């Protein structure tokens, strides 16, 4: 037996994109149901470092690229949300540090890249004196320059909790084996069916939003939609549980020709009171060809060289691979902005970067207004959430990958 249920919008994927859109679209008066296959934030969201970028890392060539231009306004928008004054109310979300830092070593190329970046984004960053250094660096004599950025770092589990808390009654954990999608390149989604022990639920929605990150590839294949296509770029991330008493939030600019920071380090509180240093940047990009043992050895070598005053002898190390998922562009270029593409009643989204999520929300709301989308009368949709709740559990919040591995 098949039971038909109605709602305005179904979102597939419970990472930062899906949760942000759930909040924005509920504010617009739509009935929205979010479906997550495992746990909220389990993919790229809780594998991210939580940095709300202001664009400097994309301007180290001295050229204000489309990426740096698009991102420049993001920290201010996020801060508005954290005060409860923006598009989404993020009051209660924990901020790990209100300022991120960038350190250029004494090398010529390192100093040149940071100089060019600071000029391209003048007015947005400041070189700081040793007396203003963060605690981790304050007692040290550093060569080169230390800059305080407009960037800051949010605690991603806290972010997922704040975004999901007001809408737990419409967030469901449904495995891929229980969900069937049918569609085509002209009509978008034609059927969304959910299998239960008591029969099939057919969930009828005015719009389907794909916000599943890397999972969008399989969903597009199920729907028979061949445009857009997805590309992935792998990273080999490092994490180390440090006994050092002070956290570290820092781009370390290398002395090579590359425009990616040599190391990008964030610190996250560990359950035992220590700090988990989470490390990306160039080492994560070049590390995709290294084994876990080789990557850890390279990370240890670089950290001991850069921070000789830190004792890593008792530290615990791990590494893991994560794919960044995004729309496939010509020549495998990196997208500069949040991505939204409409195929009939189906909308394909990637924020492309955590910091661009507010832009994604605005783009989708604008799209639906341009399409003239209106909420259905409440009496037609009130049955959907209560019926789904009888058959499916609320999706839990995932644990950050590094925290799982460093237990």
42 touches 351 (CB < 8 A): no
pLDDT at site 272: 86
Six token digits for residue 353: 């970067």
Residue 126 has pLDDT above 80, yes or no: no
Q: pLDDT at residue 292 above 70?
A: yes
Report, as an integer, the average pLDDT of 122-129.
Answer: 69
Q: Peptide bond before 228: cis, by omega within 30 degrees of 0?
A: yes
* Percentage, residues of the chain above pLDDT 70: 88
**Residue 144 predicted with pLDDT over 90:** no
How much is the average pLDDT of 241-268?
A: 84
Radius of gyration of the chain from Cα atoms?
22
What is the model's pLDDT at position 69? 66
Distance CA 25, CA 240 (A): 39
110 in Cβ contact with 255 (< 8 Å): yes
| Alpha carbon distance 359, 375 (integer Å) | 22
The DSSP annotation for 61-81 comes to TS---HHHHHHTTHHHHHHHH
Asked if 396 contacts 173 with a C-beta cutoff of 8 angstroms, the reply is: yes
Domains of the chain and any CATH numbers: 2-45+159-229+330-399 (3.50.50.60), 51-154+232-324 (3.30.9)
Q: What's the pLDDT tens digit per position in 316-352?
A: 999 999 999 999 987 757 788 899 999 999 999 999 8
- Eight-class DSSP state of 98: S
Average pLDDT of every residue of the chain = 89
Quick one: which H or E segment has residue 364?
Answer: helix 357-370
Residue, of 267 and 116, whose pLDDT is higher = 267
Whose structure tokens read 């060019």?
116
Q: Render pLDDT for 57-99 as a digit per residue (tens, 0 to 9).
A: 554 444 455 556 678 889 999 999 999 999 999 999 999 999 9
């Amino acid at each position: 037996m098949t039971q038909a249920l109605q709602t305005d919008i179904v979102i597939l994927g419970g990472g930062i994109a899906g949760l942000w859109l759930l909040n924005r679209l509920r504010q617009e008066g739509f009935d929205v149901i979010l479906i997550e296959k495992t746990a909220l934030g389990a993919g790229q969201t809780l594998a991210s470092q939580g940095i709300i970028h202001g664009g400097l890392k994309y301007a180290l060539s001295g050229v204000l690229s489309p990426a740096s231009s698009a991102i420049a306004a993001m920290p201010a928008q996020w801060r508005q949300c954290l005060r409860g004054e923006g598009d989404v109310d993020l009051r209660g979300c924990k901020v790990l540090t209100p300022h991120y830092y960038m350190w250029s070593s004494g090398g010529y190329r390192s100093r040149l890249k940071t100089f060019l970046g600071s000029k391209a984004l003048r007015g947005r960053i400041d070189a700081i004196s040793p007396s203003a250094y963060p605690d981790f660096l304050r007692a040290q004599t550093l060569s080169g320059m230390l800059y305080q950025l407009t960037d800051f770092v949010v605690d991603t589990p806290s972010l997922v909790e704040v975004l999901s808390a007001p809408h737990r009654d419409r967030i469901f954990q449904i495995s891929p084996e229980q969900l069937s999608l049918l569609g085509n390149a002209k009509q978008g989604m034609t059927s969304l069916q959910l299998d239960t022990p008591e029969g099939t639920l057919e969930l009828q929605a005015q719009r389907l939003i794909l916000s599943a990150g890397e999972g969008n590839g399989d969903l597009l294949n199920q729907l028979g939609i061949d445009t857009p296509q997805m590309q992935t770029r792998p990273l080999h991330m490092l994490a180390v549980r440090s006994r050092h008493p002070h956290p570290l939030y820092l781009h370390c600019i290398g002395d090579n020709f590359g425009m990616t920071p040599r190391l990008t380090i964030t610190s996250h509180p560990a359950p035992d009171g220590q700090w988990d240093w989470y490390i990306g940047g160039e080492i994560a990009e070049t590390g995709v060809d290294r084994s876990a043992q080789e990557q850890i050895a390279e990370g240890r070598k670089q950290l001991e060289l850069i921070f000789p005053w830190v004792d890593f002898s008792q530290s615990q190390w791990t590494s893991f691979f994560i794919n960044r998922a995004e729309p496939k562009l010509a020549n495998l270029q990196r997208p500069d902005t949040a991505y939204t593409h409409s195929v009939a009643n189906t909308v394909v989204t990637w924020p492309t970067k955590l910091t661009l999520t507010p832009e994604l929300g605005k783009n989708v709301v604008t799209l639906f207004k341009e399409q003239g989308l209106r909420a259905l009368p409440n009496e037609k949709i009130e049955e959907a959430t209560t019926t789904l709740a009888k058959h499916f559990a609320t999706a839990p919040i995932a644990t950050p990958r590094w925290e799982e591995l460093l237990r």
